[in-house]
Amino acid sequence: MQHTGVTQLGVRWIDNQAHIRIWAPWATAVDCLLTEREIVIPLEKQTYGYWYANSKLPRHGERYKIIIDGTAYPDPASLYQPEGVHGPSAMIDLDYPWTDHRYHAPAQRELIIYELHVGTFSDKHDFHGVIDRIPYLKALGVNALELMPVGQFPGERNWGYDGVYAFAVQNSYGGARGLQQLVDACHQADIAVILDVVYNHFGPEGNYLPTFGPYFTAKYHTPWGDAVNYDDELNYGVRDFVLANVRMWFEDFHIDGLRMDAVHAIKDFGPAHILQDIRRLADGVVAKSGKQRYLFVECDLNDRRFLDPLEVNGFAMDGQWLDEFHHTLRVAAGEERKGYYKEFEGVAHLAKAYEKAYVFDGCYSSHRKRFFGTDSDGIEGDRFIVFSQNHDQVGNRMFGERSSSLYSAETTRLMAFAVFLSPYIPLLFMGEEWGTKKPFQYFVSHSDQQLVKNVQQGREEEFREFQTSGEVPNPQDKATFQRSVLDWNELEKSPFRQHYLYYSTLIALRKSHPVLKNLSREDINVDCLSEQNVLLLRAGKAKSKLLAVMNFSGAAQRILLDDDQKWLLIFDSLSGATDRITRELTQSSHELTAPAHSGLLFESMD
């Protein structure tokens, strides 16, 4: 008989009974301990290493642990960890009075994504702090929030990638009910919610998974140690675990999309890759609900297989983060070429990123010392997500500096201009839109002092290649976290307010202009003027055409156009104007001057 997968793990309430299912293939006895009343509920062994019981003895919200051969542990599939990663689990019910029955997520090509970290987004450090700002986000013009991981992690300060309970929403953020309230409130405002999830590793502190079963395999090495076991002996239990988690986010939390962290670190050489199984599960949820569910990935392999359909043995992800666009944009703007920026050539590679998506599409990579990547021919532009900054590209700098601390206001506006005039899905990182200079640094709150020491040493080692002077901020220090919390009072001050108005105007232009809101990769053509550090981007068809001029140099540049088209300036990154500015290019020479660090957008007059 073929194993078909388990959709329910941990404790779920059905008809006022607690249904308990645990995967522990090595165990000889498994029990559920109700810790406060010291009641033991024996579980019966079933096939494939699963243990099961249903009982009316537990009470809603009651705390419990799972006893494996005499030793008690939190439940790996716990829905709530009220006392943190080492404490007992809690038997909560995920039923929620949803009000979003008529809501449908935007079409993929219409997405404008706003990435945020719940703990530093507001001084409340929780989901309610996000809910309070929904009217602001709506007014800004974004239509999708991307939450950094919310699975239970050690302490109250963490990026979320050290989570060890995939099913338990962080207690300090507001737990499962808080996340459900946030999603429901976002849907009422016609804002989708994308959740960052981590299936390539689990954090070190509070990680009791190896006690329950072979969640890891020594067959492969990853930056975090042994790989998650997707294709070794007894892998089906691990795959069930991940698939049940995906189903929970879609069905019990109404999450509109998942962003899967660093999928290139998922080692799975079985006949069906775990991403393919996730795709099939998501398709089933869509068919049942009639509502879209997106699957986005972070992947640095430049491998089209992640986007190709299942029919050609692809993984059929809906889209991927396009880091190379960011790297080329940064170098064009003046980023020093060291570390992984070393091999990028600024405007020349940015032009290629606009047209080809992958900069390294089979050519030689000096950073990797090998030929790298595939082409992306035939893949639509809305399958790629681009940005001028995100949590990684800010927080993984030694001091967590944002673009606003590294470049002039004119340059950061030009970078945003380049993102929103691309044929790809734009993403911005919280606070970017008003140009905050508050850093976003790497922070943790581990209780294991040796682990704290290892994390600090790891950060120091990470920045050796960049040879940055100064002392690496201590991730464990609470001040590192506090420095990273947004200051919303800045919005009422100059120049932050003006920067916000620029972003909101640019977003409105992207959403309203008939060429930009329907822009495809096939509709654009890019000319690179490398010596001037200028790009000319032409977009559109027939009578509806746009010309974007991006001057990344520190001096005004005179540019000679090689066509007879008459152009009208409709947007200037230096002023943020979108009214019909009466600057027409009608001279016989068709010459224009682009100010330093500027983006100009022209519309055809014919």
Known binding residues for substrate: 259-264, 323-327, 391-396
Sign of CA dihedral 308, 311, 313, 315: positive
Distance of CA 510 to the CA centre of its chain: 21
- Tell me how far apart the alpha carbons of residues 175 and 172 are, in angstroms, rounded to a whole number: 7
Counts for the chain of helices (H) and strands (E), in that order: 15, 31
- Tell me how far apart the alpha carbons of residues 398 and 461 are, in angstroms, rounded to a whole number: 11
**Burial of 38 per CB tally in 10 Å (0-12, 13-18, 19+):** exposed
- Closest by CA to 11, choosing from 54, 44, 42, 48, is 54
- Tell me how far apart the alpha carbons of residues 255 and 263 are, in angstroms, rounded to a whole number: 20
Residue 68, C-beta contacts closer than 8 angstroms, at least 6 positions apart: 24, 27, 29, 30, 211, 212
Cβ–Cβ < 8 Å for 24, 69: no
Q: What amino acid occupies position 370?
A: R
State the catalytic residue, choosing from 184, 252, 261, 432. 261
Structure tokens at 47: 């096939």
SS3 233: coil
Helix-, strand-, coil-residue percentages of the chain, each rounded to 5: 30, 25, 45
Is-catalytic flag, 298? yes
- Closest by CA to 459, choosing from 478, 446, 476, is 476
Structure tokens at 64: 């419990």
Q: What is the DSSP letter of 358?
A: -
Is-catalytic flag, 261? yes
Can you give the length of the chain in residues? Answer: 606
Residue 561, C-beta contacts closer than 8 angstroms, at least 6 positions apart: 536, 547, 567, 585, 590, 591, 592
State the catalytic residue, choosing from 196, 298, 432, 433. 298
Q: What residues act catalytically?
A: 261, 298
